[in-house]
Amino acid sequence: LLLLCREPSDRACPPGLLALLTPWLALTAHLSLSSQAGARGRTLILLDVNTKSPVRVTSENFLSLQLDPSIIHDGWLDFLSSRRLVTLARGLAPAFLRFAGKRSDFLQFRNVRNPAKSRGGPGPDYYLKNYEDDIVRSDIALDKQKGCKIAQHPDIMLELQREKAAQMHLVLLKEQFSNTYSNLTLTARSLDKLYNFADCSGLHLIFALNALRRNPDNSWNSSNALSLLKYSASKKYNISWELGNEPSNYRTLTGRTVSGSQLGKDYVQLKRLLQLIRTYTRASLYGPNIGRPRKNVIALLEGFMKAAGRTVDAVVNTYTPGKRIWLEGIGATSAGGMNNLSDSYAAGFLWLNTLGMLANQGIDVVIRHSFFDHGHNHLVDQNFNPLPDYWLSLLYKRLVGPKVLAVHVAGLQRKPRPGRVIRDKLRIYAHCTSYHNHNYVRGSITLYIINLHRSRKKIKLVGTLRDKIVHQYLLQPYGKDGLHSRSVQLNGELLAVTDDGALPELKLRPLRAGRTLVIPPLTMSFYVVKNVNALACRYR
């Protein structure tokens, strides 16, 4: 697995990928401009799609999720059994759930059930550390469909947890800015909770093992990892594995360096361990996860590939042809995001454009950092409420399939100005509609469109798309905060989890056959073109 760019702001990314990950600059510049409707508002855009064959095919799990190990530190891991969190995660399945981050290499596994059970009396720590026993006695319920542990946590426990998390947030920020991280202990019970969340949500867990446990000769000390592997195998947990997080940054974190060839030997060692454990003989192994691919990082990667390229399941063509490329840690901005921006409607322009451009470039999987509880880039807040990027991701999962189609665009103006019709502020992508959506027959096509102009744009579907019924899913900010809103509306109706904790119906707006699509300014939208009978989309 080659994770090329950890954040869209990484200036050291290869130029091609940097171009893919910087549409935020267009939005920032756009928001500083005055309204410029003018003649451009009168442009009619003609749109067709090549329906004969896809230009790229991504993974079924293209949009995937990440959880940071910091949720052990601040206590939120204990609440992953929340019915509401599981419901929200299920909405984004199928997907990978990568449990990894900078604290992965400070994580120690202990095969104990609950080492802190007897500490203290009633109070925040008592209730938080013993919450599961309390839940079992009162609120725990079994999801009969899968036999999952799903909990309805008492409000007082959630209030106490939020207070604890707020205090720990300051500690985590201090660690982040000082680049010094304290050790974390993952108990057997905590691993059970993590796997229960992933399995009940329909997500496939990828666990990053600690790669900084080293022997005197700098080889990897696998004893703690072996203990974790044996425990998870005894529970028959279906997990894929990764070793370490950004080994290219180990010098900064600990003063210790690990060469590419040594890291390759460590991966070979891990692969042999997996093959010795019956449950994981065929388990996938991903890595290395690298960030900011500068000269020394490229050298590390080359050394790794020569030593261990064949042991991993997704790498680069130069060394192991046919392997896939993944990107992880993708969010609105780096360093945990920005309040009132990364968690707002405005952040969706970058997120949706990133998905569109990376799919067109043939990136197999994009892992969003983070599903829950990390800075302001998360999809769900600490009140278990979905943020705008969650609803955008949910629509993407429901409507967009893995087959990417070529888009053909032309513009008609009173005074033609070649090359100035679309510019960078109107972006159009096309895929076969998701096969998992049984509301649409195979052969349908999904368009998703970003309009960063301050004027509306009109699009006429032509060619194979002409005179077809279209279903519109238009996302706009909800409330007086405009682009900074943390709530969104779909076709004019506020999107919110229902009172009983279920996801709302995503109500479409049907457009009559042949109608011109009118794209409002500063919006994101999906359009399903029904019954195209596209050859590229008829079969998996």
DSSP string, 277-292: SGGGTT--EE--B--S
Between CA 99 and CA 97 the distance in angstroms is 6
Q: State the pairing for strand pair 63-67/95-99.
A: parallel
Between CA 161 and CA 153 the distance in angstroms is 11
* Of 496, 494, 430, residue with least CA distance to 465: 430
Does residue 421 surpass a pLDDT of 60?
no
* Residue where the block lists tokens 């895929």: 431
pLDDT per residue as tens digits for the range 448-487: 999 999 999 999 999 999 999 999 999 999 999 999 999 9
Does residue 21 surpass a pLDDT of 90?
no
What CA–CA distances, in Å, run from 380 to 68, 84, 369? 14, 10, 11
* Of 452, 456, 412, 407, residue with least CA distance to 431: 407
Contact of 344 with 484, CB cutoff 8 Å: yes
Please report, rounded to a whole number, the percentage of residues in the chain having pLDDT higher than 70: 79
Side chain identity at 32, as an amino acid letter? S
Between CA 303 and CA 262 the distance in angstroms is 8
pLDDT per residue as tens digits for the range 495-511: 999 988 899 999 999 99
Contact of 53 with 83, CB cutoff 8 Å: no
Read off the tokens for 502. 């279920």
Residues 6+ apart with CB under 8 A from 218: 256, 258, 262
375 or 245: which carries more pLDDT confidence? 245
| Confidence at 410, pLDDT banded by 50, 70, 90 | confident
Residues 6+ apart with CB under 8 A from 65: 89, 92, 95, 96, 97, 98, 203, 367, 368, 370, 371, 379
pLDDT of 130: 53
Does residue 138 surpass a pLDDT of 50?
no
| Residue 278 exposed, middle or buried by CB count within 10 Å (0-12, 13-18, 19+) | exposed
| Confidence at 371, pLDDT banded by 50, 70, 90 | very high
> What is the pLDDT averaged over residues 265-285?
96
Q: At what angle do helices 83-90 and 188-201 cross, to 10 degrees?
A: 50
User: Using CA of residue 76, residue 77, residue 80, residue 82, what is the dihedral sign?
Assistant: negative
Between CA 453 and CA 465 the distance in angstroms is 24
Contact of 271 with 281, CB cutoff 8 Å: no
pLDDT per residue as tens digits for the range 69-118: 999 999 999 999 999 999 999 999 999 999 999 899 999 999 976 554 44
pLDDT per residue as tens digits for the range 283-304: 999 988 887 667 788 888 889 9
pLDDT of 286: 94
* pTM for this model (two decimals): 0.87
User: Using CA of residue 219, residue 195, residue 181, residue 13, what is the dihedral sign?
Assistant: positive
| Confidence at 332, pLDDT banded by 50, 70, 90 | low
| Confidence at 9, pLDDT banded by 50, 70, 90 | very low
What CA–CA distances, in Å, run from 230 to 211, 216, 239, 278, 384? 17, 25, 12, 10, 33
Does residue 197 surpass a pLDDT of 90?
yes
Cross-strand bridge partners of residue 147: none
* Residue where the block lists tokens 């007086």: 480
Between CA 338 and CA 356 the distance in angstroms is 23
Please report, rounded to a whole number, the percentage of residues in the chain having pLDDT higher than 90: 62
Does residue 323 surpass a pLDDT of 80?
no
Does residue 120 surpass a pLDDT of 60?
no
| Confidence at 15, pLDDT banded by 50, 70, 90 | very low
First to last CA, the chain: 24
> What is the pLDDT averaged over residues 164-190?
90
Q: Cα 414 vs. chain centroid, distance in angstroms?
A: 43
Using only the alpha carbons of the chain, give its radius of gyration. Answer: 24
> What is the pLDDT averaged over residues 277-287?
95
Question: Average pLDDT, whole number, for the chain?
Answer: 84
